[in-house]
Each structure stands twice: as C-alpha cells, then as structure tokens.
Amino acid sequence: MDFTLPKKYQLFRQMVRDFAEQEVRPRAKQVDIVGKPDMEIVRLLGENGLLGIPFPQEYGGSGLGELGYCLLMETMGGVCTSTTTTLGAHIGIGAMAIYLGGSERQKRKYLPDLATGKKIACFALTEAGAGSDAGAIKTRAIRDGDKYVITGAKVYITNGPIADVFSVMAVTDPNLGVRGGVTAFIVEKGTPGLSVSKEEHKMGIRGSATSEIVFDEVVVPSANVLGPVGAGFVNFMATLDTGRLGLGAAGLGCAEAALDLMGRYAAGRSQFGRPIGEKQSIQWLVANTAVEIEALRSLVYRTAWMVDTHQPYTKEAAMCKLYGSEVASRAIDRALQVHGALGYDRDFPIERMWRDARIAEIFEGTNEIQRIVIAGQVLRPYGVRVSP
C-alpha cells in the first residue's frame, strides 16, 4: 500500500491552504460576530473553482472526486467552521443530491452554475417533526397533470437564506411510506409560494445561514423530479453518506488546528519556571489528541478512496461523521484547557472553535443515529435487525 498523496492532490491542498490563509482566516472572527455568511468569500470560492471539486469537468467541476472534496473540507475546517458549513451544505448535500440522483439534463442544467458559484444550493429535508426520523416528513407534493404542487415547511436548512437551488424531499404517496412514497424535487429560488421564513440565531457556526423554508402551494414541473418518483428517500440517504464523510474531514481539520494551537502555546507559555509543554499533564493531552487525529485521518482518506473507487461506504461514512465530530470536540476542549483563561476569551479563536464544533455531533444525523447505522451494517450479516 502506498499512502503518499498523489502530486495533483498535494498541489491542490497547498492552493486551498493559501486561499484559506489569505482570504478566509482574516475574516473568520468577523463572520462569527456578524452572524451571516461573507458572500465575498463565497464569490471567491467560486472564482477559484472550489465549489465544484468532486464533480466531473463535464459538469463544470474540477474532477478531483471525493478525496479532493475531503482535502477541501479538512483544510477549510481548520480555519473557519462557518464557511466550511456553507461549503458542505452547498457541495456535499445540496448539489450532490443532483449529481447522484439527477438526470443527465438536470446535471447539465444545474451543476455548472453550482460548481462556479453562480448559484448556491441547499438540502431541504428536516422538518419540525422529522429530524432523526427523516421518514416522518409531512411536506406533500401532489401531482397535477405534468406538474407537482408542494406544500409544507422545512426547518434548520443550512444555506436556506442564500440558496438559489433547493433539493427538496416531499411525500408523494402517504400509503407507500419511505420506500416508494417519497420523492425528491429541484425547486428554484423565485418560484411563487417559496419563501424563507425564520432565520436561526445559533450558538455556533454563526457565520453560516440557517432558516425555515416554507412551501405554500409551490408549483414545480415534473421535469424537476430528482430521480425516479418514489425514490426520494433512497436518493437523500445516499446523499447524506457523502455529506457525513465531508463532516468527518472537516472535523479532522478542526482537530489539527486545535493540536497546532496546543503545541504552540505549550512551547511558549511558562509556569513554575519552565514551559508547560514539559509537564506530563499537558503532554498526555497532546499525545491523546495526536493519536486520535492520525486514526481519523486514515478513516477519512480510506473512505474517500472507497467512494472514488465505487465501493459501498455507508458504514464508513457514518464512522467518519461520528468519530470526526467527537475527535474535533475533544481536541478543541483539550486545547481550551491547555490555554486556560485565554482559551475562554472571545478574542482568541478557541472559544469560537469550541462553540462551532458542537453542532457536528447533531446535524446530518445525530451521533446516536450514526451508531445505529454502524451497528446495523455490522450486525446485518448475523441476521440481527437494528432499528431506532
């Protein structure tokens, strides 16, 4: 086995690092304070070809696959979690739903503009009564000739206030349930009846936009059905697999950044006449973090390889999301402890990182749900049925 990153990916990662340091890091604190995405950053991401990394060049993407996407999320994750969240919602689930489930016509119509940042995507699944239980959605899509009329509301939709293209899941046949009764749709901004309602004021990732989306008899043509009628649940669950892998990569970047801050401070801060890095209590925090980072890196990169070589990866994606979110939270918490009062100060980035990291254990499937997914995959060959 050769674990060397191919040259083109090394060059790509360095390009992303340079962009993140020059354009994103200087604005990260202000993005959090303002509580809104910096659309100039989004524009620059598009201009630099960073909004279509996993998609083939024929659809306006970079053709760097899932490994390239994970390198993007890892690098950006260590600089600004809010911007990384905007990226993930746009690429990893919003546009990815179209790439995975869309027809050739739909891909050629929507992906080029999404890959270049001319349009922003979001993924509209969650409802007030359907979070972990995604199959409990109530939003309805009723067929009327060659069109559908969608009515309902979605909540906690990342990129909702800035989206131009909405990947939406709705019930088309209540009698069939999630296996055949749920369909995915592409809905465009400006469609009559589509509106952005309440914007959320969040503890963390404040620089990403999150809102309720209301569908008041929104009419969409049958040409905007995303995938086969009745296959929406399958489409969206497959999309969430790639999103969860991206979250694992972002968690890796967060943990790496926390370890770097920890190391710098442990070397420069002295107490009792010597650097605190010489204290065993600090060394153990550093060592535990370093071990978890290397384990997570192997998991994320291997899972990206599985995606790019067309292997099943549902279990591994859930592992990436579960382990990545928890490793990131632990690493940042340790970094805060090493920094003491300075880590708790809002003028220093650890306080923001600590707030930002917590959501990763909740969205795109709580970590409790990830454990159920993993257990189901592991126990299935033994004839054990796992359910929530």
Q: How far is 110 from 120, CA to CA, in rounded Å? A: 10
For 62, list phi and psi in degrees, rounded to 5. Answer: -95, -15
What DSSP line would sit under 162-193, residue for residue? G-SEEEEEEES-TTTTTTTSEEEEEEETT-TT
Query: Active-site residue 364, yes or no?
Result: yes
Q: How far is 169 from 173, CA to CA, in rounded Å? A: 12
Q: How far is 229 from 340, CA to CA, in rounded Å? A: 55
Select which of 74, 212, 364, 368 is catalytic. Answer: 364
Measured between alpha carbons, how far apart are the two ends of the chain, in Å?
38
Q: How far is 85 from 210, CA to CA, in rounded Å? A: 10
CA angle (239 as vertex; 247, 98 as ends), nearest 5: 120
- Nearest Cα to Cα of residue 304 among 8, 72, 7, 112: 72
β-pairing, 274-275 vs 194-199, is unpaired
Residues near 248 by beta carbon (within 8 Å), at least 6 away in sequence? 70, 296, 299, 300, 303, 317, 319, 320, 321, 323, 324, 325
Active site residues: 364
